[in-house]
Structure 1
Amino acid sequence: MDTADTFGRWLRSLASGLEQDVDQLKALLTDPVKPGSVQVLPYVGYRNATALRVSGRVIEHQAPLSSAEGVLDKLRAMWTIYNSREVGGITVRCEADGVSATCVSDEEGYFAFDLAIDRPLPPRALWEHVTLSPPGLEPHLPLNVPVLAPGTDDHWGIISDIDDTVMETGATDFAANWRRIILEQPAERLAVPGAADLYRLIARDHAAPTRPFFYVSSSPWNLYGFLTQFMELNRIPHGPMFLKDLGIDAGKFIDAGHKGHKLDAVRTILRFYPEHRFLLMGDNGQQDVEIYAQVVSEFPQRIGAVFIRDVSGECGTGAKAAHLAEMARLGVQTYCAASFADGVSILRALDIDNPVEATRASGEGAAVAAGTEAG
């Protein structure tokens, strides 16, 4: 082990200890959480034929985002989201498919269920439900939590980034990005032009999509409600989200960076649904191209098409272009353009409604319209 690695481990250990000290100090300086102010925040779940996964977080009650008006109110609302008061040690019960299980929220309020079930997936993608409740915290009513059950008639699924893929963030513009983060509410955030229309076309039916959507982002779990509200307002198909726990412990902010978190999430989805082929959607502002190229190299038969929104002007040059070309060489349809506006042409170019085995058999991929919109 070299000196740099040893120093890095020591620094992470020190930072983790400081974080725990700060959390303990906050607990001492604030009033105890009252049972009536405890809020269970469920995250949309998903299942296959043998397992059902649903998770969430227990926090002190937060006011709805929609109630924030004016700069100070918005600053206060966003501060509350990022500085949420987590509640550990709360028992949560999950009831699904005749199975009942309990778990206890950890020190950061998180809880997760991974239930063994025995129920085939439906022919058409469905939203099923489980109930979550915190026993002993009456009068809390059971929560009906959506669980995605992908259909077996259509073996396409979609794995999508969020920032600058469906929601404008200006992640490559530091000042613009931070202004949006600290001030803008869900109703004020802009969808990427054409994104909602394209995603609805892919889903075939926004109200009851026939294709499952999964969203992978390095945004923190604190923003789950914010992102969900944004998608509802813009009629973007719903789906389970794989967000990030911001912290300093092993496997969190310092150890698991943007690339590691997203790559692990995509692998998890692919392994959970071995019968599905996926369309990957992202942008080239950060590391989506590199991540998707790695995924294609590991699962070449599982990825049918890749769409990259060009926010950096690098579709046709540099390392990102080389990654796109390599994916095409492996037989994966690729599309890189600055806009989603021509959704029908994009779908025609990606050919996602037809098998890609013919393309692979020819040994030729297709780097479609690199650097330009499809025409």
Structure 2
Amino acid sequence: GWGRPDQVWLTGRVLERLAPAGARSADRWWRNVRATLQRVASREVAGVELQLTIGGCTARAVSDNDGYYAARVDRLTLAAGWHSTQVEPVAPPAHATGRRWSSDVLVVPGDAPLGVVSDLDDTVLHSGVTNLLVAARTVLLDNAATRVPWPGVGALYRGLAEGAQGRSPAGTGAVPVFYLSTSPWNLYDLLTEFLDRHRLPRGPMFLMDWGLSHTGLLRGHDHGHKRERLETLFATYPRMRLVLVGDSGQRDAEIYRDAARAHPGRVAAVVVRDVTTPDSARARAVHAALGELGRLGVAAITCADTSDAAAFLTGLGLCHPSTVEKVRAARDDDRRHPH
């Protein structure tokens, strides 16, 4: 969940069972395939009425046909930082194994001046989403311990979260990081475990529901999802300027350009990880989008190396100068030990 001191949004999913946690780099390929299939073939529980409690206030929600639930809680007086929400079925299903669970909620002040929004696939970690066979192999055969990060990305994002003063936000949400991706919610546990393993800042995650739509077509990779979530963040935090981070493989550059065009002065910087072939049509499209960002007054860069991103962001006063050396050291370590 996420929100402001006076209002939070709580989301979750009711499943019959969870995929196994605690991935290891030594896990055999067949174990990873089995875990992936368990995630994809999740058994959702519909029609469960839930009571959600946070900050002494409660709300009710009912899981839909895909097991998802969502609720908004108003009239709160929460401090900035992470909070715990208690979730309890009003009438637990007969086969339920637990009567109560908790989820974390990040509360960010409504007047927070700066935030970070980052894509995940091929930005934070290698996924190969532009190549169907590579992406399928990665999802099936890898786990949170074997997925490969953008070398140095953990140090880069910690530098962004600590801000220009180089001090840890200590969970206050002073420089919050939101993760925005078209990955399916079925991979939520794998992605959170990956972020923890590589010491990336905790943050709310906005993923997608993959499956058959009412038209019978497969849902997923809907770039409208990213645009809608960005609009929600702009509206929720009206004084917040956003650092937007994505990759060149998808349409992140164009989405971020459109956001800057629609919200003048609200985009602090754009960083696009370069994962495309030079002089390709996709590379030219990214170059054009970044050129337009420059004409809109938004500093933007495309780069393959996190140290270049760190130098760029430090030059804009968004990271402490020590971030550059920290990112270089972390980058070299990740290259030596990618897992």
Verify same fold: TM over 0.5.
yes
Structure 1, 253-262 or 166-175: larger mean CA deviation: 253-262
Residue correspondence of structure 1 range 297-308 to structure 2 within 5 A: 297-308=261-272
Q: Which residue of 2 aligns with 1:291?
A: 255
Q: Within 5 A, what are the aligned runs for 1:14-29?
A: none
C-alpha deviations, 1:331-352, integer Å up to 9, x for none?
1111111111345413223333
Matched, 1:322 2:278: no
1:310 and 2:274 matched: yes
User: Cα distance, 1:176 vs. partner?
Assistant: 2.4
Q: What residue is the counterpart of 1:347 in the other structure?
A: 313
Task: Judge conservation of contact 1:200–1:206 (CA < 8 Å) in 2.
Answer: no
Query: Unaligned 5+ residue runs, structure 1?
Result: 1-44, 355-375
Give the corresponding residue for 1:224: 188
Contact 2:169 2:175 in 1 (8 A): no
**What SS does the aligned partner of 2:191 have?**
helix
Task: Tell me whether 1:203 sits opposite 2:161 in the alignment.
Answer: yes
Give the Å deviation of 1:215.
Answer: 0.7
Query: CA shift at 1:98, angstroms?
Result: 2.0
Paired with 1:315 and 1:332, the residues of 2 have a C-alpha distance of: 24
Distance 1:297 1:269 in 2: 16
Q: Which amino acid aligns with 1:193?
A: P
2:287 partner letter: A
Please say if residues 83 and 107 of structure 2, whose CA atoms lie closer than 8 Å, have aligned partners that are also in contact. yes
SS of the counterpart of 1:60? coil
- Seen in structure 2, the aligned counterparts of structure 1 residues 59 and 118 have a Cα distance that, compared at 3 Å, is closer
Q: Alpha-carbon deviations, 1:301-357, whole Å to 9, x = none?
A: 211111111111459962221110111111111111111134541322333369xxx
Matched residue SS, 1:186: coil
Normalised TM-score (structure 2): 0.83
2:235 to 271, 288, 298: 271
Equivalent in 64, 83, 88 of residue 133 of structure 1: 88
CA–CA distance in structure 1, aligned partners of residues 240 and 310 of structure 2: 23
- Report if aligned partners of 1:245, 1:253 keep a CA contact under 8 Å in 2: no
Instruction: Quote the offset at 1:279 in angstroms.
Output: 0.4
Residues in 2 aligned to 1:82 and 1:330: alpha-carbon distance in whole angstroms: 42
Moved more, 202-211 or 301-310: 202-211
Is 1:212 aligned to 2:168, yes or no? Answer: no
Instruction: Kindly indicate whether the alpha-carbon contact (under 8 Å) linking 1:93 and 1:101 is maintained by their aligned counterparts in 2.
Output: yes
- Going from structure 1 to structure 2, the CA distance change for 1:210 and 1:222 (only over 3 Å counts) comes to same
Query: What secondary structure does 1:79 align onto?
Result: helix
User: 1:278 Cα deviation (Å)?
Assistant: 0.5
CA deviation profile, 1:208-240 (whole Å, cap 9, x unmatched)? 353111111000111111111110111111111
Structure 1 residues 98 and 251, CA gap change in structure 2 (3 angstroms) = farther
Show the 5 A alignment for 1:136-285.
136-137=91-92, 140-151=98-109, 155-204=113-162, 205=168, 208=171, 210-249=174-213, 257-285=221-249
| One-letter code aligned to 1:57 | R
Indicate the SS of the match to 2:104. strand
TM-score (norm 1): 0.75
8 A contact 1:194–1:343 mirrored in 2: no
Pick the aligned partner of 1:90 from 48, 64, 67. 48
- Number of residue pairs matched by the alignment: 307
Map 1:92-131 to 2 at 5 A: 92-119=50-77, 122=79, 125-131=80-86
Q: CA deviation at 1:171?
A: 2.1
Q: Are residue 60 (structure 1) and residue 60 (structure 2) matched?
A: no
List, as ranges, runs of 4+ consecutive aligned residues in structure 1 with deviation greater than 3 Å: 151-154, 250-257, 313-317
Query: What letter corresponds to residue 58 of structure 2 in structure 1?
Result: S
Against the structure 1 CA distance between its residues 152 and 100, is the aligned structure 2 distance closer, same or farther, given a 3 Å change threshold? closer
Aligned equivalent of 1:335, options 301, 311, 322: 301
After superposition, the CA RMSD in angstroms is 2.6
For 1:99 and 1:315, how far apart are their aligned partners in 2? 55
The answer to whether the aligner puts 1:72 opposite 2:30 as a matched pair is yes
Higher relative contact order (CA 8 A, sep 6+): 2
CA distance in 2, matches of 1:245, 1:143: 22
